[in-house]
Amino acid sequence: MSATEKYTEVAEVLGQIAPLAANAAVGDHDTGWMDMANFHRAYIHLMAGEPTATGTLNLKVQEARDLNGDGAKDLTGKAITQLGDGDGGAYVGLELQSEELDVDDGFHCIKVITTVGAAVYYHGVVVFGTVPRYPPVDVTGFEEIV
């Protein structure tokens, strides 16, 4: 990124898990499938919000061949396990390079899944596509750019 480029010219919002009450409830929550074909990298940003005393939060990344999830499988080494009540307010970042995907078998889509266990755990996730193959990137994922 050069000094004259705007961040929004080189990073695109690919997906999110909004920090809503529904996404804080026990169970799995996901971003849906996102295509990384136009990016060399992705950055996954988890903001651990307020948990209850027994709340836990896990995160994993899956890969697939297309946006329907064909051939879906967990991406090895890209997981966060057992954030607990002492981790409220933590920022967690996962970086993913496109060559970490099973590109030889045609995998280019990813999905982030968070799992809230035992009790409520407020959190939010944003997935950015970075290092675009054909800049500038699409800015429609942002509500507003100032």
Q: What is the pLDDT of residues 57-112, one digit of tens each?
A: 999 999 999 999 999 999 999 999 999 988 999 999 999 999 999 999 999 999 99
Res 2 pLDDT > 80:
no
Q: What CA–CA distance (Å, rounded) separates 75 from 44?
A: 13
pTM: 0.93
Domains of the chain in sequence order: 27-132 (2.60.120.260)
